Amino acid sequence: MQGIKHMSDSEKQKAPRRIFDRASGVQTAKALFHQRGYDAVGITELTKKLNINPPSLYAAYGSKSGLFERCLNLYVAEGNLPADKILTQGRPLDEAVSDLFMTAARLYVRSPAQRGCLVAEGMRADDPQARELASRYGEAGIQFIRSYIRQCEPSRDRELSDFVVTTLRGFSAAAVTGLSKARLTAVAQMAGQAFSALVTPINV
Protein backbone atom coordinates (compact mmCIF):
# COMPACT_ATOMS: atom_id res chain seq x y z
CA MET A 1 0.00 0.00 0.00
CA GLN A 2 1.39 3.32 -1.08
CA GLY A 3 1.86 5.78 1.75
CA ILE A 4 0.05 9.06 1.83
CA LYS A 5 2.23 11.99 0.91
CA HIS A 6 1.96 14.85 3.34
CA MET A 7 2.45 18.35 1.96
CA SER A 8 4.87 20.58 3.75
CA ASP A 9 3.75 23.90 5.10
CA SER A 10 5.65 25.65 2.31
CA GLU A 11 3.80 23.59 -0.27
CA LYS A 12 0.43 24.28 1.28
CA GLN A 13 0.94 28.02 1.20
CA LYS A 14 3.46 29.96 -0.77
CA ALA A 15 5.20 32.80 0.96
CA PRO A 16 3.69 36.20 0.15
CA ARG A 17 5.44 38.06 -2.60
CA ARG A 18 7.74 40.82 -1.36
CA ILE A 19 6.49 44.27 -2.22
CA PHE A 20 9.21 46.41 -3.76
CA ASP A 21 9.44 49.92 -2.33
CA ARG A 22 9.98 52.14 -5.37
CA ALA A 23 10.67 55.29 -3.37
CA SER A 24 13.33 53.55 -1.32
CA GLY A 25 14.80 52.20 -4.54
CA VAL A 26 15.16 55.73 -5.90
CA GLN A 27 17.00 56.81 -2.75
CA THR A 28 19.41 53.90 -3.07
CA ALA A 29 19.99 54.48 -6.78
CA LYS A 30 20.47 58.22 -6.26
CA ALA A 31 23.26 57.59 -3.80
CA LEU A 32 24.87 55.13 -6.20
CA PHE A 33 24.65 57.46 -9.21
CA HIS A 34 25.99 60.33 -7.13
CA GLN A 35 28.90 58.29 -5.86
CA ARG A 36 29.89 56.53 -9.07
CA GLY A 37 28.40 58.55 -11.92
CA TYR A 38 25.67 57.46 -14.33
CA ASP A 39 27.96 55.76 -16.85
CA ALA A 40 29.77 53.65 -14.26
CA VAL A 41 26.60 52.15 -12.78
CA GLY A 42 25.23 49.20 -14.73
CA ILE A 43 21.92 47.33 -14.56
CA THR A 44 23.59 44.39 -12.80
CA GLU A 45 24.88 46.60 -10.00
CA LEU A 46 21.58 48.44 -9.70
CA THR A 47 19.52 45.28 -9.41
CA LYS A 48 21.92 43.87 -6.86
CA LYS A 49 21.76 47.00 -4.71
CA LEU A 50 17.99 47.21 -5.03
CA ASN A 51 17.61 43.46 -4.43
CA ILE A 52 15.40 42.95 -7.47
CA ASN A 53 15.80 41.31 -10.88
CA PRO A 54 16.11 43.24 -14.17
CA PRO A 55 12.47 42.71 -15.23
CA SER A 56 11.34 44.16 -11.91
CA LEU A 57 13.58 47.19 -12.36
CA TYR A 58 12.13 47.87 -15.80
CA ALA A 59 8.60 47.33 -14.51
CA ALA A 60 9.18 49.80 -11.68
CA TYR A 61 11.08 52.54 -13.52
CA GLY A 62 10.84 51.83 -17.23
CA SER A 63 14.59 51.90 -17.83
CA LYS A 64 17.89 52.87 -16.27
CA SER A 65 17.44 56.41 -17.57
CA GLY A 66 13.90 56.45 -16.19
CA LEU A 67 15.31 55.59 -12.78
CA PHE A 68 17.96 58.28 -13.18
CA GLU A 69 15.29 60.86 -13.98
CA ARG A 70 13.51 60.01 -10.72
CA CYS A 71 16.83 60.35 -8.90
CA LEU A 72 17.42 63.79 -10.40
CA ASN A 73 13.92 64.88 -9.48
CA LEU A 74 14.42 63.76 -5.88
CA TYR A 75 17.86 65.37 -5.72
CA VAL A 76 16.47 68.73 -6.84
CA ALA A 77 13.39 68.44 -4.61
CA GLU A 78 15.61 67.86 -1.59
CA GLY A 79 17.23 71.22 -2.31
CA ASN A 80 20.85 70.13 -2.35
CA LEU A 81 21.79 73.69 -3.32
CA PRO A 82 18.82 75.80 -2.14
CA ALA A 83 19.29 78.68 -4.56
CA ASP A 84 15.72 79.84 -4.01
CA LYS A 85 16.47 80.38 -0.31
CA ILE A 86 19.75 82.18 -0.99
CA LEU A 87 18.91 84.34 -4.00
CA THR A 88 16.05 86.20 -2.36
CA GLN A 89 14.34 89.48 -3.17
CA GLY A 90 15.89 92.59 -1.66
CA ARG A 91 19.24 91.02 -0.92
CA PRO A 92 22.34 92.72 -2.39
CA LEU A 93 23.36 90.83 -5.52
CA ASP A 94 27.02 90.41 -4.64
CA GLU A 95 26.17 89.22 -1.12
CA ALA A 96 23.64 86.68 -2.41
CA VAL A 97 25.94 85.25 -5.07
CA SER A 98 28.87 85.07 -2.63
CA ASP A 99 26.62 83.14 -0.24
CA LEU A 100 25.59 80.83 -3.09
CA PHE A 101 29.24 80.10 -3.89
CA MET A 102 30.15 79.35 -0.27
CA THR A 103 27.08 77.17 0.26
CA ALA A 104 27.81 75.17 -2.89
CA ALA A 105 31.45 74.68 -1.92
CA ARG A 106 30.45 73.28 1.48
CA LEU A 107 27.65 71.09 0.16
CA TYR A 108 29.65 69.59 -2.69
CA VAL A 109 32.21 68.14 -0.27
CA ARG A 110 29.82 67.38 2.59
CA SER A 111 29.74 63.65 1.89
CA PRO A 112 33.02 61.74 1.49
CA ALA A 113 31.40 59.47 -1.10
CA GLN A 114 28.74 61.62 -2.81
CA ARG A 115 30.73 64.64 -3.88
CA GLY A 116 29.85 67.36 -6.34
CA CYS A 117 26.45 68.09 -7.89
CA LEU A 118 24.47 65.16 -9.32
CA VAL A 119 22.91 67.39 -11.98
CA ALA A 120 26.16 69.02 -13.08
CA GLU A 121 27.98 65.70 -13.26
CA GLY A 122 25.03 64.11 -15.08
CA MET A 123 25.36 66.77 -17.76
CA ARG A 124 28.86 65.42 -18.48
CA ALA A 125 27.76 61.78 -18.81
CA ASP A 126 28.68 59.83 -21.92
CA ASP A 127 25.14 58.51 -22.22
CA PRO A 128 23.07 60.97 -24.32
CA GLN A 129 19.82 60.25 -22.47
CA ALA A 130 21.43 60.95 -19.12
CA ARG A 131 22.95 64.18 -20.44
CA GLU A 132 19.61 65.34 -21.80
CA LEU A 133 17.78 64.58 -18.55
CA ALA A 134 20.38 66.32 -16.41
CA SER A 135 20.50 69.27 -18.80
CA ARG A 136 16.77 69.88 -18.32
CA TYR A 137 17.26 70.33 -14.60
CA GLY A 138 20.44 72.29 -15.16
CA GLU A 139 18.70 74.67 -17.56
CA ALA A 140 16.00 75.38 -14.99
CA GLY A 141 18.70 76.37 -12.51
CA ILE A 142 20.43 78.57 -15.06
CA GLN A 143 17.21 80.41 -15.84
CA PHE A 144 16.49 80.95 -12.15
CA ILE A 145 19.94 82.45 -11.57
CA ARG A 146 19.73 84.60 -14.68
CA SER A 147 16.28 85.87 -13.75
CA TYR A 148 17.54 86.84 -10.31
CA ILE A 149 20.56 88.68 -11.70
CA ARG A 150 18.39 90.45 -14.28
CA GLN A 151 16.55 92.27 -11.50
CA CYS A 152 19.77 94.12 -10.58
CA GLU A 153 21.81 93.95 -13.78
CA PRO A 154 19.32 93.75 -16.67
CA SER A 155 21.90 94.58 -19.34
CA ARG A 156 24.46 92.03 -18.09
CA ASP A 157 22.28 89.15 -16.96
CA ARG A 158 23.67 86.70 -19.52
CA GLU A 159 27.37 87.28 -18.92
CA LEU A 160 27.01 87.41 -15.14
CA SER A 161 24.84 84.29 -14.98
CA ASP A 162 27.37 82.52 -17.22
CA PHE A 163 30.05 83.46 -14.68
CA VAL A 164 27.99 82.12 -11.77
CA VAL A 165 26.95 78.86 -13.46
CA THR A 166 30.41 78.12 -14.84
CA THR A 167 31.91 78.73 -11.40
CA LEU A 168 29.42 76.41 -9.72
CA ARG A 169 30.13 73.65 -12.24
CA GLY A 170 33.82 74.12 -11.61
CA PHE A 171 33.21 73.65 -7.89
CA SER A 172 31.39 70.39 -8.63
CA ALA A 173 34.16 69.05 -10.83
CA ALA A 174 36.82 70.01 -8.28
CA ALA A 175 34.87 68.32 -5.48
CA VAL A 176 34.50 65.10 -7.48
CA THR A 177 38.23 65.01 -8.17
CA GLY A 178 39.00 65.31 -4.47
CA LEU A 179 39.68 68.97 -3.65
CA SER A 180 39.44 69.46 0.11
CA LYS A 181 36.74 71.51 1.82
CA ALA A 182 39.29 74.08 2.99
CA ARG A 183 40.67 74.62 -0.50
CA LEU A 184 37.29 74.65 -2.22
CA THR A 185 35.79 77.14 0.23
CA ALA A 186 38.87 79.34 -0.22
CA VAL A 187 38.23 79.33 -3.96
CA ALA A 188 34.55 80.10 -3.31
CA GLN A 189 35.54 83.10 -1.24
CA MET A 190 37.77 84.40 -4.04
CA ALA A 191 35.02 83.79 -6.59
CA GLY A 192 32.63 85.83 -4.45
CA GLN A 193 35.13 88.66 -4.31
CA ALA A 194 35.58 88.51 -8.07
CA PHE A 195 31.83 88.66 -8.65
CA SER A 196 31.52 91.58 -6.24
CA ALA A 197 34.18 93.44 -8.22
CA LEU A 198 32.26 92.78 -11.41
CA VAL A 199 29.06 94.38 -10.13
CA THR A 200 30.50 97.17 -7.97
CA PRO A 201 30.71 100.54 -9.75
CA ILE A 202 34.22 101.97 -9.96
CA ASN A 203 34.44 105.44 -8.46
CA VAL A 204 36.67 107.68 -10.54
Assigned fold of 21-76: Arc Repressor Mutant, subunit A (1.10.10)
60-94 per-position pLDDT tens digit: 999 999 999 999 999 999 878 999 999 999 999 99
Nearest alpha carbon to residue 171 among 116, 94, 95, 96: 116
Q: How deeply is 10 buried, as exposed, middle or buried, from its count of CB atoms within 10 A (0-12, 13-18, 19+)?
A: exposed
Residues of the chain with CATH 1.10.10.60: 21-76
- Indicate where the chain has its CATH 1.10.357 domain(s): 79-199
CATH class of 79-199: mainly alpha
CB environment 72-84: b (16+ within 10 A), e (fewer):
bebbbeeebbebe
Gap between the Cα atoms of 39 and 148, Å rounded: 33
User: pLDDT for 117-148, tens place per residue?
Assistant: 999 999 999 999 999 999 999 999 999 999 99
Is the distance from CB of 194 to CB of 108 less than 8 angstroms? Answer: no
